[in-house]
Amino acid sequence: MLDIVLKIALTGFSLSSVLLLIRVIKGPSVPDRIVALDAMGINLAAITGVASMLFHTKAFLDVILLFGILAFIGTVSFSKFLQKGEAIEYERRR
Protein backbone atom coordinates (compact mmCIF):
# COMPACT_ATOMS: atom_id res chain seq x y z
CA MET A 1 0.00 0.00 0.00
CA LEU A 2 2.80 2.41 0.87
CA ASP A 3 4.55 1.63 -2.42
CA ILE A 4 1.45 2.72 -4.34
CA VAL A 5 1.24 5.99 -2.42
CA LEU A 6 4.95 6.66 -2.97
CA LYS A 7 4.64 5.99 -6.70
CA ILE A 8 1.67 8.37 -6.91
CA ALA A 9 3.66 11.01 -5.02
CA LEU A 10 6.64 10.48 -7.32
CA THR A 11 4.38 10.94 -10.34
CA GLY A 12 2.91 14.12 -8.88
CA PHE A 13 6.32 15.59 -8.11
CA SER A 14 7.55 14.69 -11.59
CA LEU A 15 4.56 16.39 -13.20
CA SER A 16 5.15 19.41 -11.01
CA SER A 17 8.79 19.52 -12.13
CA VAL A 18 7.74 19.52 -15.78
CA LEU A 19 5.31 22.39 -15.15
CA LEU A 20 7.99 24.32 -13.28
CA LEU A 21 10.40 23.78 -16.16
CA ILE A 22 7.83 25.32 -18.48
CA ARG A 23 7.59 28.30 -16.10
CA VAL A 24 11.38 28.65 -16.12
CA ILE A 25 11.45 28.67 -19.92
CA LYS A 26 8.36 30.83 -20.55
CA GLY A 27 8.30 32.92 -17.37
CA PRO A 28 7.05 36.41 -18.04
CA SER A 29 9.74 37.98 -15.87
CA VAL A 30 13.08 37.08 -14.34
CA PRO A 31 11.77 36.97 -10.74
CA ASP A 32 9.16 34.41 -11.84
CA ARG A 33 11.93 32.29 -13.29
CA ILE A 34 13.96 32.56 -10.09
CA VAL A 35 11.02 31.42 -7.97
CA ALA A 36 10.38 28.53 -10.38
CA LEU A 37 14.04 27.46 -10.16
CA ASP A 38 13.87 27.54 -6.37
CA ALA A 39 10.69 25.46 -6.45
CA MET A 40 12.40 23.01 -8.80
CA GLY A 41 15.19 22.58 -6.26
CA ILE A 42 12.66 21.85 -3.54
CA ASN A 43 10.83 19.48 -5.88
CA LEU A 44 14.07 17.67 -6.67
CA ALA A 45 14.72 17.22 -2.96
CA ALA A 46 11.19 15.86 -2.51
CA ILE A 47 11.62 13.43 -5.41
CA THR A 48 14.89 12.24 -3.89
CA GLY A 49 13.19 11.77 -0.51
CA VAL A 50 10.36 9.75 -2.01
CA ALA A 51 12.86 7.65 -4.00
CA SER A 52 14.80 7.06 -0.78
CA MET A 53 11.66 5.77 0.89
CA LEU A 54 10.72 3.70 -2.15
CA PHE A 55 14.13 1.98 -2.30
CA HIS A 56 14.33 1.60 1.51
CA THR A 57 17.73 3.29 1.77
CA LYS A 58 19.20 6.20 3.68
CA ALA A 59 21.92 6.84 1.11
CA PHE A 60 20.01 9.69 -0.55
CA LEU A 61 19.46 11.76 2.59
CA ASP A 62 22.78 13.61 2.25
CA VAL A 63 21.88 14.40 -1.35
CA ILE A 64 18.64 16.02 -0.16
CA LEU A 65 20.63 18.35 2.10
CA LEU A 66 22.93 19.19 -0.79
CA PHE A 67 19.98 20.04 -3.06
CA GLY A 68 18.50 22.28 -0.38
CA ILE A 69 21.75 24.16 0.20
CA LEU A 70 22.39 24.63 -3.52
CA ALA A 71 18.83 25.83 -4.14
CA PHE A 72 19.15 28.37 -1.32
CA ILE A 73 22.52 29.67 -2.52
CA GLY A 74 21.24 29.92 -6.09
CA THR A 75 18.14 31.86 -5.07
CA VAL A 76 20.14 34.29 -2.94
CA SER A 77 22.68 34.81 -5.74
CA PHE A 78 20.03 35.44 -8.38
CA SER A 79 18.17 37.82 -6.09
CA LYS A 80 21.34 39.76 -5.33
CA PHE A 81 22.12 39.92 -9.04
CA LEU A 82 18.66 41.33 -9.76
CA GLN A 83 18.95 43.89 -6.99
CA LYS A 84 22.49 45.17 -7.58
CA GLY A 85 23.36 44.00 -11.09
CA GLU A 86 26.24 41.85 -9.87
CA ALA A 87 26.38 38.72 -7.77
CA ILE A 88 29.88 39.23 -6.38
CA GLU A 89 31.07 42.60 -5.15
CA TYR A 90 34.75 43.17 -5.81
CA GLU A 91 35.02 46.54 -4.08
CA ARG A 92 34.32 46.79 -0.38
CA ARG A 93 32.51 49.87 0.79
CA ARG A 94 33.34 51.07 4.30
Q: Identify the helix (H) or strand (E) that includes residue 60.
A: none
94 has a pLDDT exceeding 70: no
Residues ≥6 apart with Cβ < 8 Å to 32: 23
Region 83-92 average pLDDT: 71
Region 33-51 average pLDDT: 93
Distance from the first to the final alpha carbon of the chain? 61
The pLDDT score that the predictor gives to residue 78 is 86
Region 2-22 average pLDDT: 95
CB 52 within 8 A of CB 44: no
CA distance 16 to 12: 6
Average pLDDT value over all residues in the chain: 89
**pLDDT tens for residues 47-86?**
999 999 999 999 999 999 999 999 899 888 888 888 877 6
